[in-house]
Structures are given as structure tokens and as C-alpha cells.
Amino acid sequence: MAWPTQSQNGIYSDFDFFRGGNFFNNCSFSGGVNMKFIVFLIPILLLSGCVSSAKTIGNDVVINVEGDEKSYIQAHQFWNEYPLGMGNTTTIDFNNSVDLFLDVSVYTNHNYSTTIIIDSLNMTHYTENFTTGQYFIHQRISGNYSAVNIHTMSYGHYNESEDSVGDFFIVRINSVEIA
């Protein structure tokens, strides 16, 4: 059996590549770009982003923490025609003290509010009402507490004929236990 040869249009078959023939020597793309050049260029393009140094752009806040970090999300979007209330509670257990970082996003069409309460053992550490907007909260809880509760209570509705989007809230919670 003979190996395939170059066809009339100058293209070799796949067998010629495995045979070790002159596939790379004679194969070219339109415009005369040599295949050896393309094979050399591909790794350079793939590795071009790997050698840049990382820089912080803008006013990003970097928080370096040591300890047990956990993340939680409380969220709800209202799809009912009449006003309705929704509540969520997240309990975070810890040993010594904990830093809480909350990212709160609220959207309401009719000036409803979302209330966030942070408490533990019948002591309220934080209470706030939020309307449409984005808010950032940081609380450090320490003392003779073994758990902290984060309560979110909100009211809202969605009337398809009046509102473009139903009311919603999103609370992203990051907790870091400090040893």
C-alpha cells in the first residue's frame, strides 16, 4: 500500500502528517504564511497574558483576614400583585468574635423598605431600614456570644401593568471568625 501523495491543489492528507513527511514544509495558508511560523506563534499568543504583573485598578478595598470565612445569601423577588412580607434568618456560630460584612441591594417601586437586624442572646447589635440602593455594612461581634442572627424583613409586590421589575432584595453575608 502506498502512502497518500500531495493532491493537485497542494493539500496533503492526514496520513502524511503521521508519516513524518514534508507536511509542515509545504503546507501554507493563503497569503504565504508558513505553517512553522503559525506553530511558533500559537504558544506565544496563549502565554501572553501569563507574564503581566497584577495591579489594583481604582479604589478597590482589599481585606486580608485570617480565620474561618463563610458566605451566605438571603434574597427574594416579589411576583405577587398585592403587597407581601418576606423574612429570612441566618444564624452564624462562632467561638470568640466574628466580623460581618454585608452587601445589601434593595429595589422597590413603591418606597417599601427592607429591615436588617443583627442580634445575639437578646442583644441587638445593629438595626437599619433600607430603601432602593446598595449599602455596605461591617459589624464586629465579640463577647460571651456563641452565635449571631441576621434577620432580613422586607415588603414588596409586582404589578405587571405598573412596574417594569418586581421589588427585590439581596443580602450577601461574609463572616470571618477571628481567633
Which is it for strands 68-77 and 97-107: parallel, antiparallel or unpaired?
unpaired
CA gap 154, 108 in Å, rounded = 10
Domains of the chain, by residue range, sit at: 1-54, 68-178
Q: Does domain 68-178 have CATH number 2.60.120.260?
A: yes
Q: 106 and 132 in contact (C-beta within 8 Å)? A: yes
Q: What is the pLDDT of residues 120-172, one digit of tens each?
A: 888 899 999 999 999 999 999 888 888 999 999 998 988 888 777 888 999 99
Burial of 126 (0-12, 13-18, 19+ CB in 10 A): middle
Q: What is the pLDDT of residues 12-69, one digit of tens each?
A: 444 444 445 554 555 544 555 567 777 777 777 676 655 444 444 445 555 555 667 8
pTM higher than 0.75, yes or no?
Answer: no
Banded pLDDT at 116 (limits 50, 70, 90): very high
Q: Which three cell numbers stand for residue 13?
A: 492528507
Give the number of C-alpha atoms closer than 13 A to the C-alpha of residue 167, restricted to the C-beta side. 24
